[in-house]
Amino acid sequence: MFATLERRKNQKDTLAPYFFSGTSVAELGIERYCETQIHLRERNVHMRRSSGISLNWRNLSLVCGILVVGGCSSARPPTATVAQAELAVQEAGQSKAPEYAAGELNIAREKFDRAKRAMDKEEYERARRLAEEALVDAQLAETKADAESTRNAARELRKTIDSLRGEAERQSRNDY
């Protein structure tokens, strides 16, 4: 605190000649700006030296690399993903998919089998990817089967509507 008071006193003393010497305010502003910048640089250098912490980018990248490699090597088995895929393949097999979307269902079953084999070999990333693909393929097969079933129902409904219209037209002709 004493140093701050001393600095302020010195500042007053250093500014006095400017006011009495006829130096313009613009010149004074530039000089003060330069003095402030020099002071800030000196303070930053002092703070870096006193902190004792040196940030070395190579060390930082090395630590990050170790964390990434360590995180990848301890991959967990994707049991939940494989279980979801198994359930989806079973549900698709019990729906109308074998009848209307047999190709997609077979692809889903094949990918699920490959996912189980990858799990046995402890290739967890590959197993997760194959299980996700099997899940999507099973959902696709089930959706295609539902769509085809709905199309067939709509076709039957149209036939029924057409036959009822024909019957109604014949009735209306007979009434005249």
Residue 24 lies in a domain: yes
Longest Cα pair distance anywhere in the chain, in angstroms?
A: 123
Do 111 and 34 lie in one domain? The reply is no
How far, in Å, CA of 100 to CA of 136, rounded? 17
Residue 72 belongs to some domain of the structure: no
Task: Say if residue 82 is in the same domain as residue 154.
Answer: yes
User: Any idea which of 15-19, 33-37, 38-42, 144-148 has the lowest mean pLDDT?
Assistant: 15-19
Distance CA 19, CA 42 (A): 27
| 101 plus 169 within the same structural domain | yes
Distances (CA, A) of 135 to 10, 76, 97, 101, 115: 78, 19, 14, 15, 11
Say how far apart CA 134 and CA 90 lie, in whole Å: 11
Residue 75 binned pLDDT confidence (cut-offs 50, 70, 90): confident
The predicted model gives 97-107 an average pLDDT of: 94
Statement to judge: residues 90 and 162 lie in one domain: yes
Q: Which residues form the domain of 42?
A: 2-51
> Are 85 and 37 in the same domain?
no
Paired tokens of 136: 């999507």
Domain boundary, last residue among 12, 35, 51: 51
Q: Looking at residues 55-84, what average pLDDT do you find?
A: 64
Residues 86 and 126 grouped into a single domain: yes
* Residue 69 belongs to a domain: no
| Same domain, yes or no: 47 and 100 | no
Q: Which value, in Å, is the radius of gyration of the alpha carbons in the chain?
A: 41
> Residue 32 falls within a domain, yes or no?
yes
Output the pLDDT for position 55. 46
Supply the pLDDT for residue 39: 64
Do 168 and 118 share a domain, yes or no?
yes
Distance of alpha carbon 44 from alpha carbon 130, whole angstroms: 55
Q: How confident is the model at residue 164 (pLDDT cuts 50, 70, 90)?
A: very high
Residue 156 lies in a domain: yes
- Tokens 């991959």, residue located: 75
Question: Per the domain annotation, does 23 fall within a domain?
Answer: yes
In a domain, 68, yes or no: no
Is residue 2 pLDDT above 80, yes or no?
A: no
Q: Are residues 118 and 153 in the same domain?
A: yes
Does any domain span residue 57?
A: no
pLDDT at residue 93 is higher than 50? yes
Instruction: Output the DSSP codes for 10-45.
Output: HHHHHHHHHHHHT--HHHHHHHHHHHHHHHHHHHHH
Residues comprising the chain, all counted: 176
- Please give the tally of structural domains in the chain: 2
Question: What is the sign of the dihedral through the CA atoms of 105, 111, 112 and 117?
Answer: positive
Is the domain of 126 the same as that of 169?
yes
**In the chain, pLDDT over 90 holds for what percent of residues?**
52
* Whether residues 81 and 166 fall in one domain: yes
Segment 34-66, tens digit of pLDDT: 566 676 666 665 555 554 444 455 444 545 555
CA distances (Å), origin 9, targets 12, 35, 103, 144: 5, 16, 90, 87
Determine contact, residues 56/66, Cβ cutoff 8 Å.
no
Domain identity same for 164 and 128? yes
pTM metric for this prediction: 0.54
